[in-house]
Amino acid sequence: MLLTVDRLEKSYGDGAQRQRVLDGVSLTLAAGESLAITGESGSGKSTLLHLIGLLDTPDAGDIALNGEAISALDEAGRAARRRDTVGLVFQQFNLVPSLTVAGNLALQARLAGKHDPAWIDTLATRLGLSGFLTRYPEQLSGGQQQRVAVGRALAARPTLLLADEPTGNLDEATSADVLELMLELCRDAGTALVMATHSASAADQLSRRAHLTRGRLS
Amino acid sequence: MIRITTLFLIALTLHAAPAAGQGFAGLGTEVAGFATPQPAPQFDFPADHGAHPDYRIEWWYLTAVLEDADGTPYGAQWTLFRSALEPSDQQGWSSPQLWMGHAAVTTPSAHYHAERLARGGLGVAGVDAEPFQAYIDEWSMRSARERLPATADSLAALDLSARGDGFSYTLALDANGPLVFHGADGFSVKSAGGQASYYYSQPFYSVSGMLDLPGGEVAVTGQAWLDREYSSQPLSETQLGWDWVSFHLDSGEKLMGFQLRQSDGSVYTSASWITPEGQLTAFEDGQLNMTALETTEVAGRQVPVRWRVELPARGVDVEIAAVNRQSWMPTLFSYWEGPVSISGSHGGRGYLEMTGYGE
Amino acid sequence: MTTTALIALLSHWRRKPGQLATLIIGLGLATALWTSVQAINAEARASYDEASATLGGGSVLVLTARDGRIPLSRWALLRRDGWAASPIIEGEYAIDGARFLLRGVEPLSGLGNGTAIPEDQAIGLAFLTAPGVLLAAPETAELLRAAPESARSSLPPVRVSAAVPRGEIITDIAVAARLLERGDTVDRILVDTRERTGRTPLTELVPALERNTGSANGEVAQLTGSFHLNLTAFGFLSFAVGLFIVYAAIGLAFEQRRATLRTLRALGTPVSSIIAALIIEALALALLAGAIGVILGYVVASALLPGVAATLRGLYGASVAGELAIRPQWWLSGFAIAVLGALAATALSIRRAATLPLLAAAQPRAWAMASARRFVQQAIAALVLLAVAALIPHFFSGIIAGFAMLAALLFGAALILPPALALALRLIQRLARGPIAEWFLADTRQQLPGLSLALMALMLALATNIGVGTMVSSFRLTFEGWLDQRLAAELYVTTRDETQSAQVHEWLEPRTEAVLPIWSAESEIAGRSGEVFGVVDHATYRDNWPLLIATDTAWDEVAAGNGILVNEQAWRSLGLALGDPVRLGTQPSMTLVGVYTDYGNPNAQAIIGLDALLTRYDSEVSRLRYGLRLPPGDTPALAQALRAEFDLPANGVIDQAQVKAFSMSVFERTFAVTAALNVLTLSVAAFAMFASLATLASMRLPQLAPVWALGLSRASLARLELIRAGVLALMTWLIALPTGLLLAWVLLAVVNVEAFGWRLPIHLFPLDWLILAVLAILAAFIAALLPARALIKRPPREFLQIFAQER
């Protein structure tokens, strides 16, 4: 199994303010599979993705990536997995504003030491970014920026792509484009995908679907 | 701070030709206004033992080969140079006469030296003819009149003293022979072009005295040689330096010889053979041969420290070797000056002076 | 990986070259000020060392004759005895009314510093041969060349040499002897006993000559030490101001790159790589800025050095070369301080990067909120520092303690500035009416953390300006008043020898209102080396002499030969009180009846009755000088008559005005460097302000956009930005004012007493403060102008984007 999530719990805040965001979430994902996590705002979608993406640590429960329990990893180990195994696409793109499109595309692959110019070329072509490589993020439209983010996440050939509302900041038509491209690329590269979304139509395009309500999967 | 070390040199090159080949220490440069030596000189002693301000350059040059009770060889040097910026003399600050004193003591393992500079006309440095006294600061070479008959030449007995960093000496010198005159009665030609100087010597001193060295006082005895020379341009412009020797041979005979090295690689030689009675025979260019046998590095340059010296006309074929190979005078214009031992056809001791190496 | 992170971080500068320039210029300027001060100090120290090396650290004896002239034969005698003796002829030489110090040296005697001629081989022969050469500083050479042909005809050609002090001419002794008509005498003989000694002791050889140890270099170092400490303190202050700029720039750069750093972390860059990248970046910036700073510092120091050299010579008689050598001690220290500064400024960024939460949203507000807590900590630290400053004088003394007190005071005041401003703004906010005023104040408060470092820099610069300005002006006022009192006599006469002195005295009696002998003897005063003067009982002293404290009958007791007056320096350093006995050399003690101010003199001095002086010191008394009282209008005629009647020394007759002018010129030079550094520091602070505002401007769009959307035009926004800068500068000035006055007080009452031995009354110059306030506001306006202009020019689209992108 590529990903095993076992009775995950996570709370935020202190004392009376304390709020349980995830309350015993379990799921599994095989290599190449795609899973949509739906739910309303505040249902814990992002938190779940952050935990799977090793950006945060759970209060209880565990996650295994490629059979390796991430609770056993220290900070450096988690950073290494983020670099090598996981790709992240955020709602707000999170591009480095001072790097060009080409620089952003190659960033994670370089960090992971897996820089493959031919693959990045392919990604740029397929994402329709070939004409924009020397531009800066602020000179791109939202859809173009998100395509750069998708390309950056896939450049290091991760086994798992995590997308947190990747189309949340985009209009409908652009959303469809970006989503289609992302799914296509994941399929071709054999990359598994976990995508948080509140859009049912987007979720429909993935192979599986799970719904989060108040920190529990259904 | 002004580089005093350049002053004397510059003074000597006052009228320097801009081109190369000015000879050692600018001695081979054109002169204007100064008197020039003429053939057949008539010396007037004791006046001519004193200074000749009309001539550009002049020296009182004494070298002594000495040994202590154990037979360890030593050398001592006492030199006063005079250099004139203009051919005149006057008292006070405006005197154009500059004086430079060099003193040294050479042992087989060490070479001590000192240098003093002064302007003339102030009583700090100068030469008085009668009573004879050459001096700069506390160094002096004075006639020891009390040891001489009234009629004797004032140079026939001298008291000599000098002092520098690490050494001082006082020596008593008594001549047992007459003054000798080089070249043609004291007119000594220095090149084929006719450059010449007045040149006479007192080579017959026997010496006794004390050397004060860092290791203590040393009583020494030996022989000494005084050169007197003055001129206004003793070198040709193409002459780069000289190798000069003075020999006190065991036979009682003396030999003075020099070769002037010229820029085309040839040499101009001159020699004087002096019998124990003071008869001098001058040998013109080409009769003396000096061949360097071995060089050694001294003060960063290669200097010959073993020579073969031949004067076939007198059956001389000797090899000379430096008592101390590092007898370097790192003075204003620097040169090699030190005692040598003599072996071969003749035995004896002498002094070697070499200039113009690796300037 | 570090490389990739570094490239990502550095790419920021390519997009924000202005910010990069700010950073580099700021660090460069700070380094430049520091380096220039270090370079000046290093040059001066090297000069002292060289002097003590050449002069043998006291191994050089200066031989002088009682009557001022040494026969040439004495020098010849010394050399003939084996002493390393070098003669000097020295005197005032007037050309077309301008007076110069002409010094003739004898290069062939090869003695050192006192006879220094600059190293220039080409001068060698020309120097010695007729007609000789006059070596002079460029300014002096200019004056000489401007003289009419007739005055110049007897002079040798002039060659410019920067190593010769202004107003001096160095030439061969033969030339000097001719021009000064010395005949066969010289003025001084230097004997280098380390080079060699002669055979006969000097006391036997030249018993008539007085022997003094050279210019006592240990003393010079000690005397000038306080001056250099002063400069160093200024250098530190300048650097601190510069450091604020760098700190601010690096801090803001960090804030701007927070998102990038977070993205890098999210993409799996380890913290260690990010820290390494930040450090490498800081080092690279430091080396670049350090190089610029060192070069700039060299330029500044080269410009200031001649003034410093003149000051040191004028004030302490210390000789310092007028040209700057490139010495490793100062350029290395320049680089070191640039690197240390950059690393210190980066340290906080590194700490923040290390603890940067991966998920928190980037919010400028958060930064502002966090700083509220920081303000409290800062205020506490400031109060501690101020308390330390207040306590130091109670427990420690000495110049180091003085400067420590200054440092604590200044940094305490700097630290308390942002919390104080925040507090003030909050109070004003309560009173504010109207939405724009409320928003304006709230927004100003929010901007405070970003601007606080620049404001602190401005505060330090303003406080320094007020403090040093007050000190210098107080000093000048006091000094001028003191000169007027002290120099009551109209003419001052110096004679050649005692015979002449007696003749002059006799000649003057019927021609003046009073002849006041200025006779003195060198003597220990309560164990300190100094000089004792004898005075006649005359109204000039009773009316004018500037007494700090005195008994009612002070002058009577002095006249009676029982009382003694000492100068302030001796009084303070000996801790004397009125009525205490003061021992003079080996003589019986006298009663202290008064203390007088004696600015500009580093040594102890005392005044007793003339008869007492003659009785006690007899043959040791120098009886060569007189002060003359006469109607001021008669002064020129008498001076001329005196010169005509007697063969007086070169500066034998000086009128009051000349002495005052000379004293004031020494004074002005002393503080010229201080003033220059002051201006430079203020400029650096203004630049800091500009840098911070410019950097902030680019981050402030999210705050401005909503207000703009609510109907405030870009022009009004820009206007408000200008007003804000002005208001902040004004408030900063308000805090700088008391700080500066405290600083002045510390300088005048603590540091000066330690450094010079005198305490000065403080004078206040409110007009100067107002001018400074205007300057500060002006500087703030200018600093805010560019960012405000950019705001006006900003296309509305960018404001709109804020709404599109704001998360």
pLDDT tens, position by position, C409-440: 888 988 899 899 988 888 888 887 777 787 88
pLDDT digit string, tens, across residues C1-57: 788 888 888 888 888 787 788 788 878 887 888 888 788 777 776 666 655 544 334
Partners of chain B (3+ Cβ pairs below 8 A): C
Q: Rounded to whole angstroms, how far apart are CA atoms C746 and C769?
A: 18
Q: Rounded to whole angstroms, how far apart are CA atoms C516 and C625?
A: 9
Helix (H, G, I), strand (E, B) or coil at C638: helix
Q: Rounded to whole angstroms, how far apart are CA atoms B299 and C340?
A: 46
Lowest average pLDDT, out of B231-240, C261-270, C554-563, goes to B231-240
Closest approach of chain B CAs to the CA of C665, in angstroms? Answer: 29
Q: Which structural domain range is residue B292 located in?
A: 2-355
pLDDT in the model for residue C800:
64
When computed from its CA atoms, the radius of gyration of chain B, rounded to whole angstroms, is 19
Q: Rounded to whole angstroms, how far apart are CA atoms C507 and C493?
A: 12
CB contact under 8 A, B2 and C109: no
Closest approach of chain C CAs to the CA of B102, in angstroms? Answer: 14
Lowest average pLDDT, out of A184-188, C180-184, C452-456, C728-732, goes to C452-456
DSSP type of residue C750: I
Mutation target vs C (from B2, B5, B95, B165; most C CBs, 10 A cutoff) = B2
Q: Rounded to whole angstroms, how far apart are CA atoms A109 and C267?
A: 9
Q: Specify the CATH number for the domain of residue B12.
A: 2.40.370.10
Beta-carbon contacts of C201 under 8 Å, excluding residues fewer than 6 positions away, are none
Q: Rounded to whole angstroms, how far apart are CA atoms A112 and A156?
A: 7
From chain C, pick out residues whose CB is under 8 angstroms from the CB of B86.
129-130
pLDDT in the model for residue C219:
46
CB contact under 8 A, B93 and C178: yes
Of C15, C260, C268, the CB nearest to A111: C268
Whether pLDDT at C357 is above 80 = no
Phi, psi of A64 (to 5 degrees): -115, 130
Mutation target vs C (from A99, A104, A150; most C CBs, 10 A cutoff) = A99
Domain boundary assignment for chain C? 1-56+225-360, 59-213, 363-488+663-807, 489-661
Instruction: Please give the residue that has the higher pLDDT: either C293 or C117.
Output: C293
CA trace torsion C360, C362, C364, C366 (10° rounding): 0
Residue of C nearest to A152 (CA): C267
Residue C651 pLDDT grade (very low, low, confident, very high; cuts 50, 70, 90): low
Q: Rounded to whole angstroms, how far apart are CA atoms B167 and C668?
A: 53
The fraction of chain C above a pLDDT of 70, given in percent, is: 80
Strand partners, B228: B60, B200
Whether pLDDT at A112 is above 80 = yes
Q: Where are the beta strands (DSSP E) in B155-312?
A: 157-164, 167-175, 180-181, 187-189, 196-213, 216-231, 239-249, 254-262, 267-274, 280-283, 289-298, 301-311
Closest approach of chain B CAs to the CA of C125, in angstroms? Answer: 6
Q: Rounded to whole angstroms, how far apart are CA atoms C201 and C203?
A: 5
Q: Nearest CA to B184 among B318, B38, B51, B71?
A: B38
Closest approach of chain C CAs to the CA of A202, in angstroms? Answer: 22
Q: Rounded to whole angstroms, how far apart are CA atoms C456 and C464?
A: 12
pLDDT in the model for residue C311:
63
DSSP type of residue C710: T
Phi, psi of C626 (to 5 degrees): -140, 150
Residue of C nearest to A106 (CA): C4
Contact present, C691 and C248 (Cβ < 8 Å): yes
ipTM computed for the complex: 0.89
Interchain CB contact of B16 with C (< 8 Å):
no
pLDDT in the model for residue B234:
57
Sign of CA dihedral C107, C111, C114, C117: positive
Output the six-digit token pair for C529: 């080396």
CB contact under 8 A, B1 and C109: no
From chain B, pick out residues whose CB is under 8 angstroms from the CB of C73.
123
Number of folded domains that form chain B: 1
Closest approach of chain B CAs to the CA of C673, in angstroms? Answer: 28
pLDDT in the model for residue B21:
34
From chain B, pick out residues whose CB is under 8 angstroms from the CB of C120.
2
Interchain CB contact of C359 with A (< 8 Å):
yes
Whether pLDDT at C361 is above 50 = no
**pTM to 2 decimals?**
0.53
CB contact under 8 A, A80 and C8: no
Angle at C350 between CA C349 and CA C354, to 5 degrees: 120
Residue C318 pLDDT grade (very low, low, confident, very high; cuts 50, 70, 90): low
Phi, psi of A183 (to 5 degrees): -65, -45
Q: Give the pairing type, strands B335-344 and B348-354.
A: antiparallel
pLDDT in the model for residue C68:
78
Number of Cβ within a 10 Å radius of residue A1 = 12
Contact present, B69 and B219 (Cβ < 8 Å): yes
pLDDT in the model for residue B345:
95
Write out the H or E segment, with its range, that includes residue B90: none
Output the six-digit token pair for C465: 């300006």
What integer is the mean pLDDT of C650-663? 72
Q: Give the pairing type, strands A160-164 and A192-197.
A: parallel
What integer is the mean pLDDT of A77-89? 86
Residue of C nearest to B164 (CA): C196
Whether pLDDT at C324 is above 80 = no
Q: Nearest CA to B260 among B231, B236, B282?
A: B236
Chain A, window 94-123: residues with a beta carbon less than 8 angstroms from a chain C beta carbon: 94-99, 103, 107-108, 110-113
Number of Cβ within a 10 Å radius of residue B224 = 27
Contact present, B295 and B302 (Cβ < 8 Å): yes
pLDDT digit string, tens, across residues C118-139: 444 444 567 777 788 888 876 6
Of A82, A98, A99, the CB nearest to C266: A82
From chain C, pick out residues whose CB is under 8 angstroms from the CB of B7.
107-108, 124-125, 128
Partners of chain C (3+ Cβ pairs below 8 A): A, B
Q: What is the mean pLDDT of chain C?
A: 78
Residue C450 pLDDT grade (very low, low, confident, very high; cuts 50, 70, 90): confident
Whether pLDDT at C234 is above 90 = no
Q: How many residues does chain C have?
A: 807
Residue C370 pLDDT grade (very low, low, confident, very high; cuts 50, 70, 90): low
Closest approach of chain A CAs to the CA of C257, in angstroms? Answer: 9
When computed from its CA atoms, the radius of gyration of chain A, rounded to whole angstroms, is 17
Residue C117 pLDDT grade (very low, low, confident, very high; cuts 50, 70, 90): very low
Q: Rounded to whole angstroms, how far apart are CA atoms C500 and C648?
A: 9
The fraction of chain C above a pLDDT of 90, given in percent, is: 6
Sign of CA dihedral B193, B195, B200, B201: negative
Interchain CB contact of C807 with A (< 8 Å):
yes
Q: Nearest CA to C320 among C211, C514, C162, C139?
A: C162
Burial of C178 (0-12, 13-18, 19+ CB in 10 A): buried
pLDDT digit string, tens, across residues C680-690: 777 777 777 77
Residue A170 pLDDT grade (very low, low, confident, very high; cuts 50, 70, 90): confident
When computed from its CA atoms, the radius of gyration of chain C, rounded to whole angstroms, is 33
Q: Give the pairing type, strands B187-189 and B167-175.
A: unpaired
Residue of C nearest to B2 (CA): C119
pLDDT tens, position by position, for chain B (359 residues)?
222 323 333 333 332 222 233 344 444 445 568 888 999 999 998 999 999 999 988 999 999 999 999 999 999 999 999 988 888 888 888 888 989 999 999 999 999 999 998 989 999 999 999 899 999 999 999 999 899 888 899 999 999 999 998 899 999 999 999 999 999 999 998 877 778 899 999 999 999 999 999 999 999 999 999 999 998 875 666 778 889 999 999 999 999 999 989 888 899 999 999 999 999 999 989 999 999 999 999 988 999 999 999 999 999 999 999 999 999 998 877 899 999 999 999 999 999 999 888 75
